Structure 1
């Protein structure tokens, strides 16, 4: 148990306090902004590289991953949000396939770590935006731009996709990004 907690601590998900044990790390909006910014940078790079190394097999993987995601309901209850673990798995798979041809295992590992750290922030926004955000359309747009080999617009769409999630959390907690003023 202690080894698992130490690992979670090293991944920034829990805090270790001397002689007091382990605690779930509190939500920090500055951390959300930094993690989102870093994920946008790294995944934009990974997506550009993946598009540059695109193959028909990769196109097929993308289409299949997207098809599976779109065929799975986001919520187990259509009236109110009830998390669907299968959708979460397929969502993660779609995003992994998008950047899978970048040619850098360390980059993919960093992107995976960022996705893991941002997951808890995503969970804060989902209930609020479940009925109003059209994530399915965002994924379809990203897919089409990738298949069209439009690196610039595909990375912009992916970045926008991630920023919308962060913005939903920030708006819900009543703290817009101060850099957006003005």
Structure 2
């Protein structure tokens, strides 16, 4: 979807700044805006045919999300990628996400259970086809929705905000390096086991399975990235 398509949507649906933010996020997550590249706001403003004020607002939000960095005298740059950053993102998810899941199991009712199993069904019915950007995005969206549904009843807005930022940073590695990887059966089995343990109120098992899932996924991604990154980027 182009920025033109987004900007032509009815004004009530979202502000122009939110639409610009969505386009920039998509370009960053998929590597169209390369990690470490400088962002010239005047050039972006001309390219997108938007005002400087909503563009700055969109960029500021992405700075808060960790996808763009800003430094005095240097302006804005797309956040670089590295194994160290991936490891930090994974370590934080391993600490926060299972904790949030435990809280969701405590707080969630039947509606939450139904939402979890519904998100699992959607995810397991969504294929990820190598070389098909549409299917890749659809699967990643379903995957993120599943993980969020698991923890949403932690009822801790700050934790959920931090989690959203971590997922966005993790997604960039996934979008760039998993383009040629099809979903494996073990991923479906892991998601199913986590969901079933969660709705069965088996908090220890669910948290342990989620931890192992995050660690295994990161380890697989780490091997792909290590082979592609320059030596000094690790």
Q: CA deviation at 1:63?
A: 1.2
Q: TM-score, normalised by structure 1?
A: 0.82
Q: 1:131 to 1:50 in 2, by over 3 A?
A: closer
SS in 2 for 1:60: helix
Aligned counterpart, 1:82: 132
Compare CA radii of gyration and give the structure with the larger one: 2
Where 1:130 maps in the other structure, the secondary structure is coil
| CA-CA distance at 1:89 after TM superposition | 2.1
Aligned to 1:109: 161
Q: Tell me the residue number matched to 1:94.
A: 146
Match of 2:178 among 126, 129, 149: 126
Choose from 91, 95, 101 the match for 1:37: 91
Q: Which of 75, 89, 102 is equivalent to 1:48?
A: 102
2:25 maps to none
Equivalent position of 1:8 in the other structure: 62
Contact 2:126 2:138 in 1 (8 A): yes
User: Deviation of residue 133 (structure 1)?
Assistant: 6.1
1:9 Cα deviation from its structure 2 partner: 2.6
Report deviation, 1:6.
3.2
Consecutive aligned runs of 4 or more in structure 1 exceeding 4 Å deviation:
17-21
Question: Are residues 1:168 and 2:168 paired?
Answer: no
Higher relative contact order (CA 8 A, sep 6+): 1
User: Cα deviations across residues 102-140 of structure 1 (Å, max 9, x unaligned)?
Assistant: 121211111111111211022244235425463211111
CA distance in 1, matches of 2:104, 2:140: 23
CA apart distance, 1:39: 1.1
Deviation at 1:19, TM superposition (A): 4.8
What's the RMSD between the two structures over aligned residues?
Answer: 2.1
Give the total of aligned pairs. Answer: 171
The farther-off stretch of 38-47 and 99-108 is: 99-108
- Helix, strand or coil for the counterpart of 2:70? strand
Say if 1:161 and 1:90 are closer, same or farther in 2 by CA, change over 3 A.
same
Query: Would the aligned equivalents of 1:129 and 1:168 in 2 still touch at CA under 8 Å?
Result: no
Kindly indicate whether the alpha-carbon contact (under 8 Å) linking 1:122 and 1:166 is maintained by their aligned counterparts in 2. no
Is the 8 Å Cα contact of residues 50 and 103 (structure 1) preserved in structure 2?
yes
Residue 39 of structure 2 aligns with which residue?
Answer: none
Residues of 2 paired with 1:92 and 1:113: CA distance?
Answer: 12
